[in-house]
Amino acid sequence: MQLRIAAFMFIVGLLLASCGGGGVEQLTTGQVSGSVKVLGPSNGAVELMVGVFPSGSDTPVQSSSAGRVTSTASLADRTISYSFSDIQFGNYYIGVFADGASPTFYYQSGDFSFNTENQIVSGLAGQCSFSGAAPWGTVSGSTSIAGDWPTGGLLTFIGISPMSSPQSVLQYLVSESDVNDGRINYNMEGIAYGTYLVGFYGYDPVSREITTYGAFDNPVVVSANSPNIATINFPSDFAGDPGEDPQLGTITGTVSLSAALPSGLFYYVAANTIPPAQGAPPAVYEVFEGQLNGTTIDYTLSFLDDDTYSVSIFAYDVVSHQATYFGEYEGTVDISGGDSHSGIDFTADVSQLN
């Protein structure tokens, strides 16, 4: 009797659903939302699009404009937010791209699926860069300016070019208003690991000629061992030869930890001027995940201008945006004439992070 009643109720349920008599409609579409942080600099101007693509396809089922990006100083604060709905069940990915005959992708998420158990996908987050695929680092520094600023509608920019493709220049657009105390400071984020040339250039949009006003004499290497390259300083001259780069110094040493570093934070050994200037330290050494289980850190701080420095270690919390210094070298280090200083050793009290 119980089986017969259950069967009867199942048939009634089907009839109600088919007649619209109180049944629940079975959805066959899903919706997805999230955001992508865009790192700079850009290589020229681009019309950015964001879309949702079937897995294995480069044709979006839905897309929308993410705005026009020009060669600019920094895209670090630009976030593309997206939301797509009424997408048929299946497997998909999110792409940020430049539209064309075939899309040029700057970002592709991992695959996700829409089905009856998973109709809403939200909170997807990612990062992309115009310089290439992750992992990425930063290149920062300054150029001293000599001579009169050029006229005639020239585009002036700090450029970074892969050694393997010197004609491909990522542009950090600057103008005369960016000159501060005879120098232009720059910070280029989202630079894929590799070897680069860095210089200051002018571009004539009519003749398409590029003029070099100054360049860093040596190749700049962004790598896992040194992802954040600071103090890439060089002279520039609008009228002639800018001369040689300033001699840059190095500080090396060992940090002895009171205990292993806790996970969940980012750690850096830093060289700071005295008093510290605004912004990021002139040189930092990032402590990587593989070093968190040890109790010593061997570090190198490079590309240091002639100055007096303090050396310390700090933890950075990306959620609260707070930096906590928990160890420092007792003395100071004087860099002069690009000399190197070794044995700058100190201890760090990890309990201060609790």
Q: How many domains, the chain?
A: 3
Is residue 8 classed as helix, strand or coil in its secondary structure? helix
Q: Is residue 297 part of a domain?
A: yes
For the record, the structure tokens of 45 come out as: 């101007």
Full-model pTM? 0.62
Report the half-sphere exposure of 311 (CA within 13 A, side-chain side): 28
Q: Does one domain contain both 228 and 282?
A: no
- Give the span between the Cα atoms of 137 and 228, in whole angstroms: 5
Asked if the structure places residue 65 within a domain, the reply is yes
One domain, residues 52 and 147: no
User: Which CATH number is 34's domain given?
Assistant: 2.60.40.10
In a domain, 289, yes or no: yes
Residues 143 and 190 in one domain: yes
Q: Verify that 147 and 194 share a domain, yes or no.
A: yes
Across the chain, which has 354 residues, the per-10-residue mean pLDDT values are 32 36 64 90 81 95 86 64 95 90 87 94 90 86 90 86 84 88 86 93 86 91 83 87 77 93 88 80 79 84 87 86 91 90 95 88
Q: Is residue 304 part of a domain?
A: yes
Of 95, 129, 163, the last residue of a domain is 129
Q: Which residues pair with 213 in a beta bridge?
A: none
Return the closest-CA partner of residue 230 out of 180, 279, 275.
279
* Spatial CA neighbour of 34 closest among 21, 17, 52, 19: 52
Is there a single domain that holds both residue 88 and residue 147? no
Q: How far apart are CA 288 and CA 274, in angstroms?
A: 27
Cα 54 versus chain centre, distance: 27
CA dihedral 38, 40, 45, 50 (to 10 degrees): -10
Per the CB < 8 A criterion, the answer to whether 193 and 222 are in contact is: yes
For residue 29, the cross-strand partners are 88
- Inter-residue long-range contacts of 260-264, CB under 8 Å, 24+ positions, other chains counted: 260/292, 260/293, 260/294, 260/295, 260/350, 261/287, 261/291, 261/292, 261/315, 261/350, 261/353, 262/292, 262/350, 262/353, 263/289, 263/292
CA dihedral 273, 277, 279, 283 (to 10 degrees): -10
CA 69 to chain centre: 16
Which whole-number Å values give the CA distances from 163 to 14, 42, 194, 195, 221, in the listed order? 68, 17, 8, 6, 10
CATH classification of the domain holding 176: 2.60.40
Residue 88 placed within a domain: yes
Tokens coding 104: 């040029």
Domain limit, last residue, from 129, 148, 174? 129
Do 257 and 336 have their domain in common? yes
Residues 114 and 140 in one domain: no
User: Is there a single domain that holds both residue 223 and residue 277?
Assistant: no
In a domain, 21, yes or no: no
Identify the domain containing residue 283 by its residue range: 249-353
Q: Provide the residue type at 15 as one letter.
A: L
Whole-number pLDDT of residue 331: 93
